[in-house]
Amino acid sequence: MLYTGIYERPRKNENQYELEIQMVDSLQNVDVAVTACGSSNRIAP
């Protein structure tokens, strides 16, 4: 999972975390989630 800066507000009724939640929900017992936010100082996963 790669985090990146977002420079606009989500649209009304849009869940900006939907894909992240789907990814976490799909993990199996043997899976390992790897996250990265690059060199941004604005993102905290």
User: One digit per residue, pLDDT tens: the chain, 45 residues?
Assistant: 777 777 888 889 988 888 889 989 999 999 998 888 777 777 765
Of the candidates 42, 39, 34, the residue with the CA atom closest to the CA atom of residue 2: 34
pTM for the full model? 0.61
Scanning the structure block, which residue is given the tokens 């939907």? 18
Alpha-carbon distance of 3 to 39, in angstroms, equals 10
Predicted confidence at residue 45, as pLDDT, reads 56
Domain span at residue 20 reads 1-45
Q: How many domains, in total, are found in the chain?
A: 1
Predicted confidence at residue 39, as pLDDT, reads 76
Predicted confidence at residue 5, as pLDDT, reads 77
Predicted confidence at residue 3, as pLDDT, reads 77
